[in-house]
Amino acid sequence: MTYSKIIAGTMTWGQWGKSLSKNDMMARLDHCLKENITTFDHADIYGGYTTENEFGHAFKESNIRREAVQFISKCGIQYMSNNRNNSVKHYNYSSKYIIWSVEQSLKNIQTEYLDTLLLHRPSPLMQPDDIAEAIIKLKKDGKIKHFGVSNFSASQIALLSKYIPTTVNQIEFSLTQHKAMHDGTLDYMQLHQIIPMAWSPLGCVFKDNTNQTLRIKKQLDILSEKYQATHDQLLLAWILNRHSKQQK
């Protein structure tokens, strides 16, 4: 599986952020492709279960070839929303639900398959054999090409991998959040050739004014002049030079 080195996260494209119009999304899709960003990261819950559908309408009218892009989506979190009958936030990784959720994502994004499906967060009640049953069927039916996880620890990936191969783990990783470098998560992924994808790759550098971020900004000023690069470019370059050749 090949992803673009920088992946476009869609969480803030809809109601949970910029509330982009269909035309705005089409323009953003076009801009991403011009910058060789061809992979788009979704989750069913984004925008309270609305962003995938909005993106799908924009993608359909963009006339972009499906083969030119890669779509990732995530499932499992049962979020309290007007669009779901959930009375409490919880997880659902039953075989029946995973299959249903993927079918909903395909319908919303208006595509016949997902390049990669991720389990959004680990559940203490998940049953690996039940998950494997759903993934095997989805792959057999051509509805997903690859399977991975998000926010899983090394031991959680090891447990799941006994039942179904795991190709990706999407984790929080940045210059200000690098726990995965020290708790064995990245080591395990490198050992087993599992691709790391970093969400929130800029960390809190532009959000907080702490002693840490002030030191980072001071160093970024020096490096920015040296390499003629912006601060965000330098932060992304730091990630791209870590363990993985493929990062978000």
Catalytic (active-site) positions: 46
State phi, psi for 84 to the nearest 5 degrees. -140, 145
DSSP-based three-state secondary structure for 39: strand
Rounded Cα gap, residues 76 and 10, in angstroms: 17
Is residue 72 left, alpha or beta, with left meaning phi > 0 and alpha meaning psi from -120 to 50? beta
Task: Tell me if 5 sits within 8 A of 247, measured CB to CB.
Answer: yes
**DSSP letter at 194?**
P
Q: Rounded CA gap, 109 and 123, in Å?
A: 26
Alpha helices (runs of H) in the chain, residue ranges in sequence order: 22-34, 46-49, 51-62, 95-109, 128-140, 154-161, 185-191, 211-227, 231-240
Nearest to 3 by CA among 202, 197, 200, 238: 197
